[in-house]
Structure 1
Amino acid sequence: MLSYQHIYHAGNLADVHKHSLLAWMLDYLTRKDKPLSYIETHAGRAIYDLSAEEALKTGEAAQGIARAKAWFSPDHPYMRSLAQTTETHGETSYPGSPLIAVQTLREMDTITLAELHPTEHLKLELALPTATCRKVDGFAMAHSMLPPTPRRGLMLIDPSFEIKDDYQTIPTHIKKYDRAWNVGIIVLWYPILTSGAHHNMLKALEINHPDGLRSEVHFPPARPGHGMIGSGLFVIRPPFGLASEATTLKTHFDTLK
C-alpha cells in the first residue's frame, strides 16, 4: 500500500504535463492580492535528485524534463521554479508539486500537505518547514478540512493509483469535495494507461462535473512494456486561460509521436 516512491519517476513527461500547468495556475491565482489556500493530498518528498540511483535506473527524467525544457520560455512559471530549485538545491535537483507551491505562493497564503509514506513524509517536513505537512490519508484530510480558510484556492489530488480501488472511489471523493468547496479549483492528475483503467473514472467525472476541463497528453512508453502512455488532468473550475495553455502544451507533446 505504501510502496510507491516518486523518485523513480521524478521529472518524467507526466511531471512536465502536471507541474507546468500547476505552476501556471498558481502564478495566475497569485496575481490577485487576495489570500488563498493550497491543499495537496499526496505530496511526496517535494525535492528530487535526478542523479540519484533510483532516478537513473528508470531514465524517465532524461526522456522528460531534460528534453522538454526547450518547450518553455525562461519566464514561464514552471521554468522559474526549475531555476530556483537548481540554484538553491543543485543542478540535478527537481521540484515536486509541493515545492512549486511554496516557491509561488505568498506569506498570506496557506499550504496544507498530506503524505502517508513515513520516509516521504519525513523528507517533506525537512524540505518544507514553512508548510503544514500531515502524515495522514490525503483523501480523509481533504474531507475534514473543506471548505478551507481562506476559501479561495486550489487542491491537487495526485495519487499513485497503486491502490486499484482509487479509480472507483475518486469520483465519489471529488463529488463530495465539490459540494463542500464550491469555489475551489480541484485538480486531479491521472495516468493514461494501455490497460484503459482510467476510462470509467473519467466517464464518472465528466457526468458529475460537465464543466470540468480535461487535459490529456500522450507520449511513448518510458521503456518496453511500460503501461503508462500519457498523462491527464481533470480540473473543476479551471482558471481563465488554462484551456489555451493546455492546448499549447499538447502541441509540444504531439511532436513526440
Structure 2
Amino acid sequence: MLSYQHIYHAGNAADLHKHALLAWMLDYLTRKDKPLSYIETHAGRGLYDLASAEARKTAEAEAGIGRAESGQWLPPDHPLMRALHDVRQRHGASAYPGSPLIAQHFLRPGDTAHLAELHPAEHDALAQAVRGAKLHRQDGFAMAQAVTPPTPRRGLMLVDPSYEVKADYGAIPGFLSDIARKWNVGVLVLWYPVLSDINLQTTMVDTLGTAFPDGLKSEVRFPPAKPGHGMVGSGIFVVNPPWGLADEAARLAAVFAG
C-alpha cells in the first residue's frame, strides 16, 4: 500500500487526461467570486522532475505531456498549459505539476485545500512543494470522510488512488455515495485506470452510473506504456459535473482518438 511512487509515471497519458480535465474544472469553479474547498485523497509529492532518473527509466511522459506539447494538443491558454507554464517558470523546464500544484495554481486567498498522502517520503516532498494547504499524513479515504462537508461547502474532491489495493474498486462506489450524502453540492472527481485484462473498473463504473445517473464518464484509450502493460486507457467519473465539462471531455477524447 505504501510502495507506489508516481514519479515513474508523472506526465504520462493518463496524467494528461486527468490533469487537463481537473485544470478545466478548477478554472471554471474559480471564475465565481465565491470561496472554494479542494480536497485530494491521494496527493503524491505534488511536483515532479521529468528529467529525473525515475521518470527517464519509464519515459512515460513522452507519450503524455511530451506528445501533447509537440502536437499542440492543448492551446497555450488551456488551463493545464497555464498551470504548467507557471510551475516551469518557478521550478525549471523539466518540472511537471501533480494535481496539488495544479490546484494551487488556481486556488485563491480564502479558498481551502486538504491534501492526504500516506507514503512518508512522498508526504515529506509534498510538504516542500505546496504552500497554504492542510496536509494530512493518513489514509485519504478516512481524511475525506473526516473533513466533509468542508467549509466552504462549495468545492471539488479528487479521488485518485493507485489501485494497488484491488479492494478499492469495490469500495469506491460506497465511499462516493457516503461523501455525496454528506456533501451534496461537492464536485466529486474519480480517476481510474482502463485495464485490458480485468473487469473490476467496468463493474465499479457501472455501479457509479446507477448510483449517479447524472454523473459524467470520460474515458480515453492509448497504447500500453510497454508491451504487456495492463493499462490501456484513463477514466474519469464526475459527480455533479460543472456545466460545459461534457463538451471539454469530448474535445479531449477526440484529440486522443486522433
TM-score band w.r.t. shorter chain: over 0.9
Match of 2:54 in 1: 54
- How far apart in 2 are the matches of 1:54 and 1:225? 20
Partner of 2:252: 249
After superposition, what is the alpha-carbon deviation per residue over 1:204-223, rounded to whole angstroms, capped at 9, x for unaligned?
Answer: 11111111000000001111
**Alignment partner, residue 84 of structure 1:** 86
- Partner secondary structure for residue 198 of structure 1: helix
Q: Secondary structure at the match of 1:34?
A: coil
Tell me the alpha carbon deviations over residues 133-155 of structure 1, each in whole angstroms, 9 at most, x when there is no partner. Answer: 11011101111111000000000
Tell me, in whole angstroms, the C-alpha distance in 2 between the residues paired with 1:235 and 1:99: 20
How many Å apart are 1:131 and its aligned residue? 1.1
Secondary structure, aligned partner of 1:71: coil
Quote the offset at 1:100 in angstroms.
0.3
Aligned ranges 1:170-185 → 2 under 5 Å = 170-185=172-187
Secondary structure of the structure 2 residue equivalent to 1:136? coil
Counterpart amino acid of 1:248? R
Structure 1: runs of 5 or more not aligned = none
List alignment gaps of at least 5 residues for structure 2.
none
Aligned mates of 1:83, 1:105 — CA distance in 2? 16
Q: Which amino acid aligns with 2:211?
A: N
Report SS of the residue matched to 2:48: strand
2:13 match: 13
2:123 matched residue in structure 1: 121
Distance 1:203 1:67 in 2: 31
1 CA distance for matches of 2:136 and 2:145?
Answer: 14
What corresponds to 2:152 in structure 1? 150
Mapped partners of 1:20, 1:170: distance in 2: 23
Cα distance in 1 between the residues matched to 2:166 and 2:68? 30
Distance (Å, rounded) in 2 between the aligned partners of 1:220 and 1:212: 27
- 1:62-116 Cα distance to aligned partner (Å, 9 max, x none): 1110011211111111000110111100100000000000011101100110000
Q: How do residues 134-145 of structure 1 correspond to structure 2 at under 5 angstroms?
A: 134-145=136-147
Partners of 1:111 and 1:100 lie apart in 2 by 12
Quick one: distance in 1 between partners of 2:232 and 2:256? 11
Matches within 5 A, 1:230-249: 230-249=233-252
Structure 2 partner of 1:99: 101
Question: Structure 2 counterpart of 1:116, which letter?
Answer: L
Tell me the SS of whatever aligns to 1:161: coil
How big is each residue's C-alpha offset from its partner over 1:44-76, in whole Å with a ceiling of 9 and x where there is no partner? 000000011111111100111001121111111
C-alpha separation in 2, matches of 1:173 and 1:197: 16
RMSD: 0.6
Alpha-carbon shift at residue 197 of structure 1 (Å): 2.5
Q: Secondary structure at the match of 1:91?
A: coil
Q: Verify: 1:213 aligned to 2:216, yes or no.
A: yes
Equivalent residue of 1:51, what SS? coil
TM-score (norm 2): 0.98
Name the SS for the 1:214 alignment partner.
strand
Aligned length: 255
Partner letter of residue 14 of structure 2? A
Q: Secondary structure at the match of 2:100?
A: helix
Residue identity in the other structure for 1:33: D
Percent identical across equivalent pairs? Answer: 61
1:129 Cα shift?
Answer: 2.9
Q: Which amino acid aligns with 1:46?
A: G
* CA–CA separation in structure 1 for the residues paired with 2:131 and 2:101: 11
| TM-score of the superposed pair, with normalisation by structure 1 | 0.98
